């Protein structure tokens, strides 16, 4: 049975929940940003190309249980992606980037998760939503009246 999974093709697949799972597992104050692993702030398929992301993608996330953040963090606890002498999970716990010797912060508000397309603070407020809905209803009523008048003629 163990040989079966060795011969099976596997690939790592990230999840929008990964940052929060890493936060919980490592006891971080907040979730790490997506660019800890990805090359773009919103994450997404094919963008896990930072040194830490490449390690997780190619080594830690492909073995059973496939995609397990817990398994990946166990593997990263003995790995140093940026070669600075500090293991990746220690750097994450210290709010440092495990893929960069400059060790910039990785802890920001990532409540939307990697791959999300929602920008915090850019949604409609309750009053603007109500105004937009009211305008839409008014336009719909005018169009309905015009259409009804044309059919009657």
Ranking 8-12, 52-56, 93-97 by mean pLDDT, the lowest is: 8-12
136-145 pLDDT per residue, tens: 777 777 777 7
The predicted-structure confidence for 11-34, as pLDDT tens digits, reads as follows: 455 567 788 888 898 998 888 888
Q: Looking at residue 13, what is its pLDDT?
A: 54
Q: Distance between CA atoms of 29 and 92, rounded to whole angstroms?
A: 10
Q: For residue 98, which of 79, 113, 111 has the smallest C-alpha distance?
A: 79
What's the count of helices (H) and strands (E) in the chain, helices before strands?
A: 6, 0
pLDDT band at 6 (very low <50, low <70, confident <90, very high): very low
Is residue 37 a contact partner of residue 92, using CB atoms and an 8 Å limit? Answer: no
């Amino acid at each position: 049975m163990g040989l079966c999974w060795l011969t099976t093709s596997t690939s790592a697949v990230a999840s929008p929940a990964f940052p929060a799972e890493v936060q919980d597992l490592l006891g971080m104050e907040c979730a790490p940003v997506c660019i800890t692993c990805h090359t773009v702030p919103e994450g997404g398929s094919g963008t896990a190309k930072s040194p830490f992301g490449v390690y997780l993608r190619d080594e830690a996330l492909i073995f059973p249980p496939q995609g397990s953040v817990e398994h990946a963090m166990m593997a990263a606890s003995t790995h140093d992606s940026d070669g600075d002498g500090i293991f990746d999970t220690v750097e994450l716990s210290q709010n440092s980037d495990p893929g960069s010797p400059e060790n910039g912060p990785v802890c920001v508000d990532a409540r939307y998760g990697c791959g999300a397309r929602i920008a915090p603070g850019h949604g409609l407020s309750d009053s603007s939503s109500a105004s937009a809905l009211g305008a839409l209803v008014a336009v719909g009523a005018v169009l309905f009246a015009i259409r009804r008048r044309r059919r009657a003629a």
